[in-house]
Structures are given as structure tokens and as C-alpha cells.
Amino acid sequence: MPFYEYMVVPAPRKGTRTRGVKGSDMRFAHALSELINEHAAEGWEYQRAESLPCDERTGMIGRTTTVQNVLVFRRELFDDLTGSRDTRTYVQESPPPEEMARELERQDHGTRLSATRDGAGGAGHRLGPAAPQRGAVHPLRGPGPRGQDR
């Protein structure tokens, strides 16, 4: 079964001026075919055109619904049955959990934490003190409720 990647782009709203193309309908058709051909050259296959509702804000509290016209393209990633793959890798297969566990056991980063101040519990970083140190910044003290000091 083939797997696909999809892309949605806005449809052109008006035709483009081109030499030898006359009339707004022909200009629009030419702009549409140019857009489809650009994406086809990149490997995208045209699927369909859709008109979808879109809620937009108008002013501070108003909302209005507009219709957006989009074009849908797709490109095959790879086929499961034939094994043919695209040159790009989109799906990365992860190793089995047992192999991942063995890899983690082999890796020794040397970042063990110790709960002692002198670090005698093991190599690596020490945990800091729980009590505030001298010169630490304290919240401002001022009059509490009803003018009493805290």
C-alpha cells in the first residue's frame, strides 16, 4: 500500500497577463495550469480543488465566514508492497525496545548526581544547598495589612 504526503495551496484568485492569452477566463485557466505545472515538476500530483469555509474576525468582536479555494496535491513517499522508496527519508524506523535498552546501558555519560556536599557519593555534579546563602536576594519587606510590619 503506498503512503502519500499531501500539500494544500491557495488557488489563484485572478488570471495573470500573458502574451497571446485574452479574456479573463483564459487568463485564469493559464494561471491555474502554471501553478499545477510548477508543483508537478517538483513531483506533486494534482488531486482536486476544494472550497472550504473559514471563520475570520471583523473588527473587535465580529466574525464572518468566508470561502477559501484551495488546491490539493499529493506525492508518494514509498510503497509497502514493492519496497520502492523515495530518495528522501520521511519515516524513520526505530530499533526494537531491547536493542534501545542495550544501547542505553552501553552509554555512560558520567553525569550522576550525588546528594552529598563533597561529592563522595560518586563522580559528577553536586546538588546545591537547600538553605539560602549569604547575600541572596530576598523579597521586599514592607508594611503588611493594616500598616503592620511583617
Give the pLDDT confidence score for residue 136 in this predicted structure.
Answer: 57
* Alpha carbon separation from 14 to 24, 49, 59, 95 (Å, rounded): 8, 15, 27, 51
Alpha helices (H) along the chain = 24-41, 97-106
Residue spans of the domains in the chain: they are 2-104
- Global pTM value: 0.51
* Max Cα–Cα distance, the chain, nearest Å: 88
Q: What pLDDT does 2 receive?
A: 80
DSSP secondary structure string, 91-124? Answer: -PPPPPHHHHHHHHHH-----EEESSSS-TTSSE
For residues 2 and 80, the answer to whether their CB atoms sit within 8 Å is yes
Tens of each residue's pLDDT in the chain, 150 residues: 788 899 999 999 988 888 888 888 899 999 999 999 999 999 999 999 999 999 999 888 899 999 999 999 999 887 666 666 554 544 556 667 777 777 777 765 544 544 555 545 555 555 555 655 566 555 555 566 665 555
